[in-house]
Structure 1
Amino acid sequence: MEVLPNSPIKVQAYAVVLVIDRPTLVITAASANTQTIGWRQADTLIGNGLRHYLSVETLGKITAFTQHAEPGVVPLTAQDGFPDRSHQIVLYQFAEELVIEIEPHQNWPHPDDYATRLNDFTRRLEDAANVDALLQCLCDGIGYHFGYDRVLALQFDEQNNGLVTNEFVESGTESFLHVHFTSEDITASTRYNQLVESVHNFADFDTAMVEIRGSYGPAAREMLRRHAGSREPNENFRQFLRDTGMRCIGYVSLAVGGVLNGSIYMHSDEPVYIDYQMRTFLSVVGRIAQQKLGYHIYSRTLRLRQAANVVRDRLYEHIVNSEHPAEGLTGGTTTLIDLIEDTHGAAICADEQLTLFGITPSEAQTDAIIDWMKGFNGEERLYHTDRLGELYPAAKAYPQLAAGILFLPLDISANQWIVWFKPEVVQTIAYGSSTAPQTAGGKQDYSTSRRFYVHNDTRHGYSLPWTADDIGTAVALQAFIKEVVMQRYARAKHNNALLQQAYDDLEVFSYTVGHDLRAPLRGISSFAEILRTDFADTLGEEGLSHLRLIQDNAKRMRNFMNDLLALSRIDRASIIINAHSLKTLVENALLDQVTTAEPPFELIVHEDMPPLHGDRSHLQTVVNNLLSNAIKYSAARETPRIEVGCTGTGRGGYPVFFVEDNGIGIPPAHRDRIFDLFTRGGNVGDLPGTGIGLALVKRVLSFHEGDIWIEPSTPTGTRFLFYTGVQAVSYADN
């Protein structure tokens, strides 16, 4: 129970508490039990100075302590009305107020003085080889030196749930070893108080608390609520003692890096009173334990990270050498599910493409999980849970696939992210508390039921928790991928500049081919024709033969330049996408290929073919080249045959067409390279050709988001299959 700011402050009855005006040493407030030390009732003390109750010597010591910021201890003597060393004053000061606790001075359960105890205890703590040995030493030492019946070490996870990992227990006392406590058992206000003041002891549950009467400011209120040794415990402590039948509870908090990592809890069947010296002893050993705990945690984390770095570096290397993020994360011997322990699957969304890897929900289920998660968490923040089914009920249908998820955003604007999945781990867990029924107001009521008792519970729908190392690994991967993307962007920018320079050079080359080389070539052809016409008799048969060879080579050179220019201009041409009849394109191509009344081959063009979508001039180039090759390479057959049609199948929803001939075919060794520039089949012999036509076709179709390939199972001749991956909005049959 958290004490409200304006509610009455109460303290434990073993101590008498006074609030003093610092400049005048006048009592402004007092606990209601002042009569237990032989003084008057609290109400009659208020307004009087301490000089009426304490000796001049003791007042001088109190005044001297007010010059310092730290708490101080002043022993009370017979001159103050107390037997020597039976009681002492503990002073806390803040601003203009003093808080004084008059408490009994306690004797240790075992011999040895304070310094000997402290030296022995801290040496044992410093010699502890690991976290387990350290916490066990802490439990054993506190149990021995203070006489508690049970001392347990409770370690907290990232969700502030606790697990008892070590324990000292006297014979006949119930063991809590390996018992779990929830974050509701040690509330946020309790954890805050443990960070503010690391030691607290609630001495006797059976003795009623006493109220502070009078007036005091916010400084004294804060001191009484969070720092005084006799301060009131929270309601969960009271409930624990009520439910377990014990009478005393205390703690020593263990904080590492400003975060409460765990606590040492002390329980006893009988009242255990500890004075300021004992609390200081616990505070000192607690600080030593915190330092050692921080060292061991750091060392363990460092070892784990060194081992994880080997996995990480292998994965990072593959990411760098891959063109697509999903390939880099899943394609190597080390993958992203090797990066985070206990994950068995992951989903990667990159470039609007979802890739599932390992054991995962379906694409539809994964999309639904992400949509749900973005709805309440946002898409810019890392998110994780080990109980997905409780938060997102649809996931209860597949706990073995995704009981836990870890979502890592990469590039929000591009909808790029990674999510890891953990399966359900069914566990039987010993809990130290239960949940009470809720009242009409939504609060839990333990008035008629026990909250704290050890019982087993089989937990379903939970995965293993996501650790701080898991989160750190994911964040490091996020930063690395972003860095790789930026490096690739810079590299792509550089490559684009080089590509632009290459395009500029190609423009100059095209101009040179189109103008500077064509003119001399036309001159060669023209003068060769003049020689053939006007000087045939003079040249004779041998001269005319050489002249025909010159004219043939000039024609081949002209065809080569025309093909090369057509290839270079593909990307720069303005295209208009329409739907065209392949039959009409074939008829147009035949006008250039066949000059006789009847073509010297059998041509079969399928009827009722779907339209071919693309730019008319570019598609005509494709058909012209494919038909030209078919005619040329089947001409030597006794009955040349060419067939043009549609396969009836599709690629990405687009129809696939074919041009087939019964010609000389393409040797298997050349089929993978036949679409490369300046490449021809190894069996073409002296048949004319530049090695550019099929490269031109490939480029045109690629420009139309399509492709062309060779049917590998064709027994004779060649069967080219091709498609375009664009869609027209209108039909333009020519």
Structure 2
Amino acid sequence: MSRHPEPDLSSCEQEAIHAPGSIQPHGALLVVSATFLNVLQASANAPSLFGLSMPELLGSELSSVLGPEQFEALRELGARLPASGEPVLLRAVRIGSGPVLNAIGHRTGGAVVLEFEPGADGTGPPGGLHSVVAAFIAKVQAATTVADLAQRAATEVRALTGFDRALVYRFEPDGTGVVVGEDGNGRLPSYRGHRFPASDIPKQARELYRRNRLRLIPDVAYVPAELVPALNPVTGEPVDLSHAALRSVSPVHVEYMRNMGTAASMSVSVLKDGELWGLISCHHHAPKVVPFESRTTCDILAQVLALQVAAREHAADYERRVEIQSVLTRLLAHMARADDYVSGLLAHPGDLLGFVRAAGAAVVSDGRTGLVGRTPGEEQVRHLAAWLFREQKREVYHTDALSSAFPPAREYAADASGLLAVSVSKLHPTAVLWFRPEVIETVRWGGDPRKAVEPVTGRLHPRKSFETWSQTVRETAAPWLPSEVEGAGELRNAVLGIVLRKAEEMAALNVELQRSNRELEAFSYSVSHDLRAPLRHIVGYAELLKEAARDKLAAGELKYCDTIIESSIYAGKLVDNLLAYSRMGRAALDRTRVDLNALVREVRAEVMAGAPGRQVRWEVGPLPAVEGDLIMLRLAVQNLLSNAVKYTKPRNEAVIEIGCHTDAGAHTFHVRDNGVGFDMRYRDKLFGVFQRLHRWEDFEGTGIGLANVRRVVERHGGRAWAEGAVDRGATFYFTLPAPSNDEERGTC
């Protein structure tokens, strides 16, 4: 037998701690066949306990080792061992004139592991197990917080076992542990409120604590008793000792205990809903054996603690979920009443923030960014949303350390170290984001959590010091609760439902619109046919009457004929313009590349041909090429230039300027003149149908031209407006989208 080998932490995560091949020597262990007939393996110290040599033990029938009476009792009880591997105290046995031993059995890998350890001295807790558990239940029921529960559990376990120190150690989601309750006699240092790194209890060790709730190390200086033979002769594999109370300890943990200044330890797992919530961890300055009965009592106390923790955490979680559902219901009502869900959310910042207890929120949708509360800047939010759409494929994303995942977030960590985001649509990037501010926290560690590297060999060791080591943690926020993350997911589903319902409504409206358009087309044809013909007849017969009776009619009567003819021609133009205006709103755009320089030259020539003798100075700057419907754009340009020529008629020399500038992804065109202008109080009427600011007698027209301009521009994704002053000219503006590639914008 040899003492523990030198530990090597570089491979501790892969260490097979469940099958160490040895036990602690304060008891002995036998591996027997499932039928209890013969011994397959024995610990190296078993011969001294049973008075047989190792060759005599191995392969012999268990009845010859224990004696017929003891064997039959164990065999009867052992037949009822649970298949789960849970260890069971079978009975107290005595081998010859030796001490009373507790026989503990469990099943593993098709065999039965029997452990024999010294029994109790008969001095159990006053009043027995029932009184201890009943008293503890009464105490924890009076506790108001989880921290209070943990403190009472630590006090009770230390009183029951006599350890120098008992800690209640809660695991955080990242595997680190926090001491939330402690009781001690002052012999060992206090770790109340201290944190320990996840590497202190690696993942596979936490899994063992989940499977086997009790772990005792009565003497850290023990010499391991190895199993003989090392491999199970039936399976050819090392025996799994996960549920063995005597299982040997990892050399790394032994060194850890020595560095911590403890000679004995015991841990009891606290399982909440089947998962490892924490440990009740006990330490002593000297070797200490805790009988199985006392350990079992501690296990029951830990289960009571787990039930109480679960009850309180579930109650708090239920209250929070009810609150979330209440706010969610209000948000759904807000969105249903609004024109769109984005407006519904942003219009009620209290509910939007309180929904997940956020300090700020943002809604990013189709280039629109709405902010409420404490948030990063608008541009920063857009960059963050772009990263989420590009890198994060999850529908719900959350973190309490945003800068760790998205380094640019360090710039606004004070406002947004925590992020909870839901992606509503990937096709049209839309997301709702909630922010939590940075919480600067000073964490007290039980020693420097960083492991030192031995300079010579490079071999890693557990840290040697457990003195308080403080660390200031920045760029983190209060973590998001599972109920809040799930609530955000429910909101996303609700928004998708609203969007889908509106899409269905729009589809139904589109069908109705198509039907209405067909009816309107038929009506337009009827108007065109039924009105044009009578108007042509009126004009024709009035002209014939005027010519035939010219010699018989007085000058005033001839004027009446002229008025009939002019009015009928005007009515015909009005009908034509109205029909053109109607068709323009329904016709699909035939987009092509349109050179506005050439278009303006052609239209200007046509307009001047209709104004012979006019003195007009045209000042036309360089214009870009755009993507659009040539026929529609020609109509818009023709109306603007015609108006400029018409309303500068009182000027001896008309000056008409046409130009453009480009910024923010749009071309902005202007047509400026030195004509009669208009009163800005009435500018909203300019682009309406039949809205005129001047008398028809002074300036001819149907009042539809500018309405056509606005409709053309809006169909192309732009807008139109005007500025002017009475008798000081007017400027008409309109925008068209600019290509993203600067080379395609042209000179402007």
Instruction: Pick the TM interval, shorter chain.
Output: 0.7 to 0.9
Give per-residue Cα distances to partners, 1:321-369, cap 9 Å, x unaligned.
Answer: 66777666656434866654466576x6543677787543785897499
Number of residue pairs matched by the alignment: 719
The equivalent residue for 2:270 is 254
Give per-residue Cα distances to partners, 1:564-601, cap 9 Å, x unaligned.
Answer: 12213333464543213335422312323x2xx423xx
One of 609, 618, 623 as aligned partner of 1:591: 609
The equivalent residue for 1:450 is 464
Question: 3-state SS of the aligned residue for 1:506?
Answer: helix
Matched, 1:64 2:80: no
Q: How far apart in 1 are the matches of 2:167 and 2:482?
A: 24
Q: How far apart in 2 are the matches of 1:453 and 1:219?
A: 46
Give per-residue Cα distances to partners, 1:220-270, cap 9 Å, x unaligned.
Answer: 989752112222334554233111211222222223333322222222223
Amino acid at match of 1:663: V
Task: Give 5+ residue unaligned stretches, structure 2.
Answer: 1-11
One of 646, 650, 654 as aligned partner of 2:667: 654
Task: Check 1:456–1:340 CA distance in 2 against 1; reply closer, same or farther (3 A cut).
Answer: same
TM-score (norm 1): 0.84
1:678·1:690 contact (CA, 8 Å) conserved in 2?
Answer: yes
Amino acid at match of 1:170: N
What does 1:420-499 correspond to in 2, within 5 Å?
424-433=438-447, 434-438=449-453, 445-446=460-461, 449-450=463-464, 452-460=466-474, 462-499=476-513
Matched, 1:268 2:284: yes
Question: 3-state SS of the aligned residue for 2:572?
Answer: helix
Q: How far apart in 2 are the matches of 1:79 and 1:146?
A: 28
Task: Check 1:218–1:478 CA distance in 2 against 1; reply closer, same or farther (3 A cut).
Answer: farther
One of 133, 149, 158 as aligned partner of 2:173: 158
Q: Cα distance, 1:512 vs. partner?
A: 2.1
The equivalent residue for 1:128 is 143
The equivalent residue for 1:139 is 154
The equivalent residue for 2:299 is 283
Q: How far apart in 1 are the matches of 2:52 and 2:589?
A: 106
The equivalent residue for 1:172 is 187
Give per-residue Cα distances to partners, 1:527-564, cap 9 Å, x unaligned.
Answer: 33333333567787787666555434422321111111
Q: How far apart in 2 are the matches of 1:222 and 1:516?
A: 102
Give per-residue Cα distances to partners, 1:159-179, cap 9 Å, x unaligned.
Answer: 122211222222333111110
The equivalent residue for 2:308 is 292
Q: How far apart in 2 are the matches of 1:147 and 1:715?
A: 103
Q: How far apart in 2 are the matches of 1:712 and 1:37?
A: 111
Task: Check 1:104–1:432 CA distance in 2 against 1; reply closer, same or farther (3 A cut).
Answer: same
The equivalent residue for 1:619 is 633
Q: Cα distance, 1:154 vs. partner?
A: 1.8
TM-score (norm 2): 0.83
The equivalent residue for 2:112 is 98
Q: How far apart in 1 are the matches of 2:507 and 2:320?
A: 39
Q: Cα distance, 1:488 vs. partner?
A: 3.2
Give per-residue Cα distances to partners, 1:6-32, cap 9 Å, x unaligned.
Answer: 965222222111111232522221112
Q: Cα distance, 1:624 vs. partner?
A: 3.2
1:12·1:209 contact (CA, 8 Å) conserved in 2?
Answer: yes
What does 1:543-692 correspond to in 2, within 5 Å?
547-570=561-584, 571-572=587-588, 574-581=590-597, 582-592=600-610, 594=611, 597-599=612-614, 603-610=616-623, 613=626, 615-630=629-644, 641=654, 643-646=656-659, 652-663=665-676, 665-666=678-679, 668=681, 670-681=682-693, 689-692=701-704
The equivalent residue for 1:242 is 258
Task: Check 1:543–1:463 CA distance in 2 against 1; reply closer, same or farther (3 A cut).
Answer: same
1:528·1:551 contact (CA, 8 Å) conserved in 2?
Answer: yes
Q: How far apart in 1 are the matches of 2:603 and 2:240?
A: 96
Task: Check 1:578–1:442 CA distance in 2 against 1; reply closer, same or farther (3 A cut).
Answer: farther
Task: Check 1:678–1:61 CA distance in 2 against 1; reply closer, same or farther (3 A cut).
Answer: farther
Question: 3-state SS of the aligned residue for 2:737?
Answer: coil
**Deviating more after overlay: 217-226 vs 450-459:** 217-226
Task: Check 1:666–1:53 CA distance in 2 against 1; reply closer, same or farther (3 A cut).
Answer: same
One of 62, 81, 104 as aligned partner of 1:50: 62
Q: How far apart in 2 are the matches of 1:439 and 1:382?
A: 44
Task: Check 1:170–1:6 CA distance in 2 against 1; reply closer, same or farther (3 A cut).
Answer: closer
Task: Check 1:625–1:77 CA distance in 2 against 1; reply closer, same or farther (3 A cut).
Answer: closer
Q: How far apart in 2 are the matches of 1:510 and 1:472?
A: 55
Identity of matched residues, %: 22
The equivalent residue for 1:190 is 205
Q: Cα distance, 1:459 vs. partner?
A: 3.5
Q: How far apart in 1 are the matches of 2:115 and 2:17?
A: 21
Q: Cα distance, 1:662 vs. partner?
A: 3.2
Q: Cα distance, 1:417 vs. partner?
A: 4.8
Task: Check 1:461–1:136 CA distance in 2 against 1; reply closer, same or farther (3 A cut).
Answer: same
1:325·1:350 contact (CA, 8 Å) conserved in 2?
Answer: no
One of 208, 218, 228 as aligned partner of 2:244: 228
Q: Cα distance, 1:34 vs. partner?
A: 2.2
Question: 3-state SS of the aligned residue for 2:684?
Answer: coil
2:716·2:736 contact (CA, 8 Å) conserved in 1?
Answer: yes
Give per-residue Cα distances to partners, 1:387-442, cap 9 Å, x unaligned.
Answer: 56666767667754665655654444555556666555443321124222347999
Q: Cα distance, 1:500 vs. partner?
A: 2.5
Q: How far apart in 1 are the matches of 2:163 and 2:41?
A: 33
Q: Cα distance, 1:655 vs. partner?
A: 4.4
Task: Check 1:673–1:225 CA distance in 2 against 1; reply closer, same or farther (3 A cut).
Answer: farther
Amino acid at match of 2:299: S
Q: How far apart in 2 are the matches of 1:365 and 1:298?
A: 35
Q: How far apart in 2 are the matches of 1:289 and 1:575?
A: 73
Q: How far apart in 1 are the matches of 2:207 and 2:725?
A: 76
1:640·1:663 contact (CA, 8 Å) conserved in 2?
Answer: no
Q: Cα distance, 1:383 vs. partner?
A: 5.1
2:364·2:385 contact (CA, 8 Å) conserved in 1?
Answer: no
Task: Check 1:283–1:611 CA distance in 2 against 1; reply closer, same or farther (3 A cut).
Answer: closer
1:589·1:620 contact (CA, 8 Å) conserved in 2?
Answer: no
**Deviating more after overlay: 198-207 vs 459-468:** 459-468
2:21·2:238 contact (CA, 8 Å) conserved in 1?
Answer: no
One of 25, 40, 48 as aligned partner of 1:28: 40
Task: Check 1:474–1:92 CA distance in 2 against 1; reply closer, same or farther (3 A cut).
Answer: same
What does 1:352-371 correspond to in 2, within 5 Å?
358-360=374-376, 363=379, 367=383
